Amino acid sequence: MRFMSDELADGRHLLTIGQLADYAGVTIKAVRVYHDRGLLPEPPRDSSGYRRYGAKHAIQLVKIRTLVEAGVPLARIKELLGAGPERFAAALDEIDRNLQKRAEEIRRTRQRIAQLHSGDRLFVSAEVTGYLERLRQIGVSERTVLLERDLWILLQSVAPEQAAAWIADKLAAIADPEFRALYLDYDAAFDWSPDDPRLPALAERTRRWYAGQDGSGAAGPPPDPTITRLAGVAAGASSPAWARIAELAKEVP
């Protein structure tokens, strides 16, 4: 009897759904979805069936919204809101790490978009452009991508047919996760000292990967010594560590 007016009067349930939504910067529809998904408890209704919200709902909604904007799926948010504070804190840490990762991805994507803009297309063939683009995509540093590009420019001017055959091999290789991992490790090794103890293992992995390819792909074109020397010299000159890897790989035939 007095029940309803008490609830209204004690300040717990005064907001309509529209006011609540405006406060949290959310649409009415979203609020109803959060009810459906069990994220936000259904508030009491007034005499005409309208939902009436209080400050606790507003707080909860802002929380939900913050997590949603951080990219947390609704199902996970529900789970988190029900969990204890230490679990919640741990989850927040992980969410923040994810956000950081996403920021990093955006940074890389922006670089790639920029390259898409003023393509390297002027200097190398479309195939090579695609290959370079792919390297950026998998996270290879811009420095190494530019080294690759310069190398291909040289190759294409010295021996266009060889270059065409090689780029085909590269396109096939880059589809192999093992090769991608190897490439990224090379990228990382650029700055290492030639004495770095990690280099022999990298050389061994390289040797094994090429062995695994034997007879299938790269064996085809007869290796023109001028060309291979060119490639080797170009790479070795840029990074002492890479030069050392080449040495190591040769030592164990």
- Tokens for 8, please give them: 């209204």
Where in 179-208 is the site for a second copy (CB under 8 A)? Answer: none
213 part of the interface to DNA, by CB under 7 A: no
Q: How far is the CB of 13 from DNA (least distance, A)?
A: 12
Q: Which of residues 131-160 bind DNA (CB under 7 A)?
A: none
Q: How many residues bind a second copy (CB under 8 A)?
A: 89
Integer Cα distance of 94 and 100 in angstroms: 10
- Of 75 and 146, which has the nearer Cβ to DNA? 75
Binder among 28, 30, 184, 234 for a second copy (CB under 8 A): 234
Residue 112 binds a second copy (CB under 8 A): yes
Q: Are 70 and 99 in contact (CB under 8 A)?
A: yes
CA angle 164, 167, 169 (to 5 degrees): 115
Footprint on residues 144-183 left by a second copy (CB under 8 A) = 149-151, 153-154, 156-158, 164-165, 167-169, 171-172, 174-176
Orientation angle between helical segments 177-189 and 199-213, nearest 10 degrees: 150
Which of a second copy, DNA, none binds 126 (CB below 5-8 Å, type-dependent)? a second copy
Confirm or reject binding of residue 164 to DNA (CB under 7 A). no
113 burial level (CB within 10 Å; 0-12, 13-18, 19+): exposed
Residue 32 binds to DNA (criterion: CB under 7 A): yes
Contact residue for DNA among 8, 14, 30, 234 (CB under 7 A): 30
SS3 53: strand
Token pair for 179:
């090769």
